[in-house]
A and B are shown apart, each in its own frame.
Chain A
Amino acid sequence: QSVLTQPPSVSAAPGQRVTISCSGSSSNIGSNYVSWYQQLPGTAPKLLIYDDNKRPSGIPGRFSGSKSGTSATLGITGLQTGDEADYYCGTWDTSLRAHVFGTGTKVTVL
């Protein structure tokens, strides 16, 4: 049972914007950095966002991250068909002393 909650799915038309929420608690999101991962079908996850809102080299500016209190959000603008994937948030849980991931969100481009 994951300690980070995400919506199961979100969808939008090409070119539109979607946001994915990640809800946690004071022992995880509230006190540690959040990262986001994209998992295209049949492939390994890929780091999209780290330290709440930083993008690794090569990740387009269409992807953005933010955090407020015990929740984090991933935003994707200018949605493309190639963005269809599962997205996961992740962080460290100080109480559990474990790395934790969100439940995952499937993004569908209509």
Chain B
Amino acid sequence: EVQLVESGGGLVQPGGSLRLSCAASGFTFTSYAMTWVRQAPGKGLEWVSAISGLDVSRSYADSVKGRFTISRDNSENTVSLQMDSLRVEDTAIYFCATLSYVQFDYWGQGILVTVSP
């Protein structure tokens, strides 16, 4: 059974940093690109970042480019999202998901990030 478990969320002040992690199990980790998708309170889904299976390529939404960094540890089956220079508008539930070409196959339960003074 595929499992994705996010951790590292919480409350942070504007301008601060936070690091999210996602622990994966139940599938061959290196066979999948991994991605982060977020959902602001009461809003729709927004793609944030993606990283290929062997970390050959990384991509970011314009809204987070230069502030967020995605990485993965294929020996530990984890993917991380380092979030710097956080803004109030980054407040959202962040989901970790597997990515196959253009679809998000499996999703974690999500972790809440709140950016507030």
Contact = CB atoms under 8 A, between A and B. Distances in A.
Given A44-B107, A44-B110, A46-B107, A99 B102 contact: yes
B105 A91 contact: no
A24 interface: no
Interface in B7-38: 35, 37
Contact of B102 (A46, A90, A104): A90
A102 to B, nearest CB: 7
Q: Please tell me the size bucket of the interface on B.
A: 20 to 34
A35 to B, nearest CB: 4
Nearest to B48: A99
Contacts of A50: 100, 103, 105
Interface in A14-73: 32-33, 35, 37, 43-47, 50-51, 56
B45 interface: yes
Interface of B: 35, 37, 44-47, 50, 59, 61-62, 95, 100-110
